[in-house]
Structure 1
Amino acid sequence: MSDASDVSRTAVVTPVRVVIALCLIAPFVAMLWVGSYAKTDPAFIGIPFFYWYQMLWVIVSTALTMTAYKLWQRDQRARKAQGGGASK
């Protein structure tokens, strides 16, 4: 059974949520596109590009995930303040 509270929980696509999605999808796209980094040059302090590129994405992914989380928290606080948002 659905009630009136289900209506307030419908998904809303906003620019902030699009940015959140892009922050979370970018690392996957970068790592799945193997042809872009399947090479040895340029080397960085003797480490082939293939390896240091992937390690760089660990740091970049962390920053993007943290950014997405902070944006999500801000979005949820704003929706709750407007009185129409879900608590999760």
Structure 2
Amino acid sequence: MIGLLLVAPFVAMLWVSSYAKVDPTFIGIPFFYWYQMAWVLISTALTVIAYKLWQFDQRARKGGDAR
């Protein structure tokens, strides 16, 4: 699960043909640019979620070893 969260932005950015276009524009910004900027925010959110899941997993492993 954590791996998928971290790989998703790479796949989205490496698949250039999916966003190499002008339309639809957003407040006058071509799709090519605002799509990439949106992925900056999305990537940040996915990285935070992955980190929180990793922390949860580490705590669970520590709890399991103490028994």
TM over 0.5: yes
Tell me the number of residue pairs that the alignment of Structure 1 and Structure 2 aligns: 66
State the distance in 2 between where 1:22 and 1:66 align.
Answer: 13
Say which of 8, 15, 30 aligns to 2:12: 30
Counterpart of 1:42 in structure 2 is 24
Query: Which protein is bigger by CA-based radius of gyration?
Result: 1
Say which of 74, 80, 88 aligns to 2:62: 80
- Structure 1 portions without partners, runs of 5+: 1-18
Write out per-residue CA displacement over residues 32-82 of structure 1, whole angstroms, 9 at most, x where no aligned residue: 000000000000000000000000000000000000000000000000100
Q: What is the percentage of aligned positions where both structures have the same residue?
A: 74
State the distance in 1 between where 2:4 and 2:42 align.
Answer: 13
RMSD of equivalent CA atoms? 0.9
SS of 1:40's partner is: coil
Counterpart of 1:10 in structure 2 is none
Q: Which runs of 4+ in 1 moved over 4 A?
A: none
Bigger share in helix? 2
State the distance in 1 between where 2:5 and 2:38 align.
Answer: 15
After TM superposition, the score normalised by the length of structure 1 is 0.74
What is the identity, as a one-letter code, of the residue corresponding to 2:9? P
SS of 1:43's partner is: coil
What is the identity, as a one-letter code, of the residue corresponding to 2:31? F
What is the identity, as a one-letter code, of the residue corresponding to 1:57? W
